[in-house]
Amino acid sequence: MVLRVRFVVHTAQRSGAPMGALRLVRWLVDTGRARPSVVLREGGPLASSFASLAPTAVIHDVGRARVRTAERGLASLGLNRGAAFVTRTRVSRAVAHLPPADVVYLNGVGAASSVASLRPAGPVVTHVHELALAMDTCSTPAERARLVDVTDRFLAVSEGVAAVLRDDWGVAAERIEVVPAPIDRPPPTGGEADRRSQRRSLGLPPDRPLLLASGIPYWLKGPDLFVQVAARALRLGAGATFCWVGGLPSDWTRDVLSRDARLVGFEDRIRFVAEVPDLSPWLQAATMALVTSREEAFPLFAVEAAAHGVPVLTFAVGGTPELVERGCGAVVPYLDVEAMARRICELLEDPAAVSRLGARGRQLAPEFTVEQVGPRALEALERATGSAPDHSTRR
């Protein structure tokens, strides 16, 4: 019998955790190893991709305006049971057309708020893509406690995440397995001539190295630190272009950051580009990748950069050093803008080192592809289905 898996994903935005879930769904469908269905808490540009692969429900698209107003109104009056009833009714309507599931795959702590309203009857596997700050941002303590109670097995995208689950959440070590989010197999990587050609096609100066960052530009990702690093490196003589790719076209944050770049005198060298459907052309054009985040569990951007042969520079925080310290980039002290800027300049003067670090990233890449990660995630789902422990005794 083919396993039926209900994916619960917090958003369909084009960010790391939803992209990882989409790749797992596609791999399961393509290989015939399981029969997925999908619940999206919020819609977004990836919703149609999920729907093209599996039966999909978007919770907040069903009766959204009036029903959610009723939920907030009841909660504000202290009628929490009434609000919860309205929420369960709305969610039930949204998922009514989906086929039954043997196991639920919760994609991230951001999906935790869906647990109470979905009321999963079978085993649950939760893939955690967040560290402490992000967990606090996207969930409440009550939601996290509920998540621990209903989850049969936790998958952590990095050792750092596993440590938070074990040390802060009190989850037993035997319930945790480190499984990264998957990437697609990268295309063959060309040389510097190919990078110049890609930069020209993107409208960038072809002879200037490209320092690339990517992600939704909110405070945890450190886009302000990216501007500071770029400005300092340029003042030190880095003859490069710095680009941050990501964020909606209407995102006011990008306007603020572009203003910062203008006020520090580098408007033509520090650029912010809206979200793109495919980051590969930018990675193929890049000389180095920058992760200036205040916290990262294990960013797919860094893994994809390494897979494209692009060295990764990061602050010493979160899970990114777990990848970079394996020889595919450089780690500098946390928030040390000066150190990162100087390391950029040193590497720009040492093409052989850039090439060596890039080659190491390509060597590491296969272990993160969906062909390698997919079977590990599926094995965890199958184990949970075969022997789900009693939810009341697993702290």
Are 161 and 131 spatial neighbours (Cβ–Cβ below 8 Å)? yes
What's residue 285's pLDDT?
Answer: 96
Higher pLDDT, 82 or 106: 106
Does residue 187 lie within any of the structural domains?
no
Q: What tens digit of pLDDT does each residue of 168-225 get?
A: 999 999 999 999 999 998 878 778 899 999 999 999 999 999 999 999 888 999 999 9
Does residue 26 lie within any of the structural domains?
yes
Q: State how far the Cα of 292 lies from the Cα of 313, in Å rounded to an integer.
A: 8
User: Residue 265 region, left (φ>0) first, then alpha (ψ -120 to 50), else beta?
Assistant: left
Q: What tens digit of pLDDT does each residue of 37-54 get?
A: 999 988 899 999 999 999
User: Number of structural domains, the chain?
Assistant: 2
Same domain, 49 and 107: yes
What's residue 120's pLDDT?
Answer: 65
Question: pLDDT band at residue 77, thresholds of 50, 70 and 90?
Answer: low
Question: pLDDT band at residue 72, thresholds of 50, 70 and 90?
Answer: low
Same domain, 139 and 208: no
Tell me which residue range forms the domain holding 213. Answer: 192-368
389 — phi, psi (to 5°)?
A: -75, 165
Q: What tens digit of pLDDT does each residue of 264-309 get?
A: 999 999 999 988 999 999 999 999 999 999 999 999 999 999 999 9
Does residue 85 lie within any of the structural domains?
no
Does residue 263 lie within any of the structural domains?
yes
Same domain, 177 and 300: no
Same domain, 134 and 215: no
What's residue 288's pLDDT?
Answer: 98
DSSP state string for 328-348: TEEEE-TT-HHHHHHHHHHHH
Same domain, 210 and 174: no
Same domain, 23 and 159: yes
Does residue 69 lie within any of the structural domains?
no
Same domain, 206 and 147: no
Same domain, 201 and 253: yes
What's residue 386's pLDDT?
Answer: 84
Summarize the confidence of residues 339-352 as an average pLDDT.
97
What's residue 333's pLDDT?
Answer: 98
C-beta atoms surrounding 173 within 10 Å? 9
Same domain, 37 and 136: yes
Q: What percent of the chain has pLDDT over 90?
A: 68
Higher pLDDT, 83 or 381: 381
Helical segments of 191-274, H only: 192-201, 223-235, 252-263
C-beta atoms surrounding 4 within 10 Å? 17
**What value does the mean pLDDT of the chain take?**
87
What's residue 99's pLDDT?
Answer: 85
What's residue 1's pLDDT?
Answer: 76
Sheet arrangement for strand 270-273? 270-273, 241-245, 210-214, 288-291, 312-315, 329-332
Same domain, 325 and 379: no
Same domain, 144 and 221: no
What's residue 59's pLDDT?
Answer: 83
Does residue 342 lie within any of the structural domains?
yes
Does residue 283 lie within any of the structural domains?
yes
C-beta atoms surrounding 110 within 10 Å? 25
Range of weakest confidence among 3-7, 66-70, 320-324? 66-70
Q: Is it the case that residue 87 has pLDDT exceeding 90?
A: no
Q: State how far the Cα of 149 lies from the Cα of 388, in Å rounded to an integer.
A: 12
**What CATH code is carried by the domain that includes residue 272?**
3.40.50.2000
What's residue 115's pLDDT?
Answer: 64
Q: What tens digit of pLDDT does each residue of 311-331 get?
A: 999 999 999 999 999 999 999
Radius of gyration of the chain (CA): 22
List residues bridging with 210 in a β-sheet. 241
Same domain, 273 and 354: yes
